[in-house]
Amino acid sequence: MQLLVDKFPYKTLEDGSCEMLKDNQCSVYEDRPLICNVRLGGKLLGVDQDIWYAMLADGCNTLIREAGLDEKYLVSLKK
């Protein structure tokens, strides 16, 4: 996973967002990096989809808390 992050091709802006995020949508969605393709990443790694999504949500929430962002940005998975 770390390798995927190391090769991320886009810059992070001062507010922490990706430079390719335009009007709250990915402007390169069809050609987005593998790390951004949540569904495909889990399949490639052979991880059960529910477990994969829970892992990603946990990682995102850790980053959100570490950045001191408002709790309204926390990821909540529907069950």
Instruction: Give the residues lining the site for ligand SF4 (CB under 6 A).
Output: 10, 18, 20-21, 26, 28, 32-33, 36
Question: Based on CB atoms, which residue is closest to ligand SF4, 28 or 64?
Answer: 28
Question: Based on CB atoms, which residue is closest to ligand SF4, 20 or 64?
Answer: 20
**Nearest 5°: CA angle at 5, between 68 and 48?**
90
Minimum Å gap between C-beta 58 and ligand SF4 is 18
Minimum Å gap between C-beta 14 and ligand SF4 is 15
Minimum Å gap between C-beta 69 and ligand SF4 is 16
Question: Based on CB atoms, which residue is closest to ligand SF4, 32 or 61?
Answer: 32
Query: Measured between alpha carbons, how far is 63 from 67 in angstroms, rounded to an integer?
Result: 6
Query: Measured between alpha carbons, how far is 8 from 71 in angstroms, rounded to an integer?
Result: 26
